[in-house]
Copies of this chain bind each other. A is one copy, B any other.
């Protein structure tokens, strides 16, 4: 079993660290919030005094932070860069959802020092983090991926090797942009059907069995009452917040801009989530985008 330094113990990182503990790993946990650290300690983790403390001597370092600026600061440009302290044999896994350019920059800086830094953002939400059923999209060499996989499998179910450094972030940006398109599109198709007298459950079933079939219709119907156990049937509480979708769409726009990849549909979806957020709905599940379409 490995010694893992885990930095960033929020809604996602906390349960992920605990799943590593459950799998038998030793986890040195650090977060700016003392309460978050203590929660992991109560499950068997070791409190680290700092990120440097967590990383020093670890076989593996995992980070789960809000944005690229935090990741770059932690490893490279901050006051105590972790790239200065991790051991040569350690594997660094960043599971934050950040821009691919930052992931590639930190990875390149690590490689220059003979270190391994890979990007492995997740999907599956807080529920998946707790249940250990996250999907990981990994940007790494084959060797790095092989090394990372057993560790990631303690926290997730589907471990995808998306490609080289940055590919995990790129795959996640593409997928989540697609998701925003699906959800907005499904909402507007169902809303148009309802405004013209169709039963949303019937129309959902028809489209699910036809060429309109997609993930939203299958497991995340945006119309309250059509499906049990989804945010739309719980006042759009829980799930994946509009604020987070808006953040991810910002990353997709950045990627589009840097690579000049035209994204008219993703841009249209981002505009809709932006309008929806501006009306105070940032904290709702993203399937609440249906409300933007509805008559008031």
- Please state the number of chain copies in the assembly: 4
Give the interface size class of chain A. 35 or more
* Chain B positions within 8 Å of A175 at CB level: 189, 206-207, 210-212
Closest B residue by C-beta to A247:
B257
The stretch among A54-62, A111-119, A288-296 that forms the contact with chain B is A288-296
| A100 close to B196 (CB less than 8 A) | yes
Q: With an 8 A cutoff between CB atoms, is A209 at the interface?
A: yes
Give the CA-CA distance A104 to B121 in the complex, in Å: 31
Q: With an 8 A cutoff between CB atoms, is A9 at the interface?
A: no
Mark each residue of chain A from 48 to 66: 1 if its CB lies under 8 Å from any CB of chain B, else 0. 0000000000000000000
Mark each residue of chain A from 163 to 180: 1 if its CB lies under 8 Å from any CB of chain B, else 0. 110110011011111110
| A178 → B minimal CB distance (Å) | 3
Contact status of A275 and B293, CB under 8 A, knowing A174-B190, A202-B162, A261-B195:
yes
Give the CA-CA distance A205 to B261 in the complex, in Å: 20
Closest B residue by C-beta to A261:
B192
Interchain CB contact (< 8 A) of A193 among B171, B220, B280 = B171
Give the CA-CA distance A211 to B178 in the complex, in Å: 8
| A178 close to B186 (CB less than 8 A) | yes
| B163 close to A197 (CB less than 8 A) | yes
Q: With an 8 A cutoff between CB atoms, is A126 at the interface?
A: no
Q: With an 8 A cutoff between CB atoms, is A80 at the interface?
A: no
Q: With an 8 A cutoff between CB atoms, is A214 at the interface?
A: yes
Contact status of A192 and B255, CB under 8 A, knowing A176-B211, A293-B262:
yes
Q: With an 8 A cutoff between CB atoms, is A203 at the interface?
A: yes
Give the CA-CA distance A171 to B211 in the complex, in Å: 12
The stretch among A35-43, A228-236, A263-271 that forms the contact with chain B is A263-271
Listed residue (A211, A256, A294) with the most chain B CB atoms within 10 angstroms of its CB: A211
Residues facing B in A121-143 (CB within 8 A) are 123, 135, 137
Q: With an 8 A cutoff between CB atoms, is A259 at the interface?
A: yes
Q: With an 8 A cutoff between CB atoms, is A188 at the interface?
A: yes
| A158 close to B262 (CB less than 8 A) | no
Give the CA-CA distance A197 to B170 in the complex, in Å: 9
| B267 close to A179 (CB less than 8 A) | no
Q: With an 8 A cutoff between CB atoms, is A250 at the interface?
A: yes
* Chain B positions within 8 Å of A278 at CB level: 260-262, 293-296
A-B contact pairs, 14 of them (CB 8 A): A166-B197, A167-B198, A171-B198, A174-B189, A174-B190, A174-B192, A175-B207, A188-B261, A192-B256, A192-B263, A254-B254, A261-B274, A264-B271, A265-B269
Binding site for B on A (CB under 8 A): 100, 123, 135, 137, 158, 160-164, 166-167, 170-171, 173-179, 181-182, 184-186, 188-193, 195-199, 202-203, 205-207, 209-215, 218, 220, 246, 250, 252-257, 259-272, 274-275, 277-280, 292-296
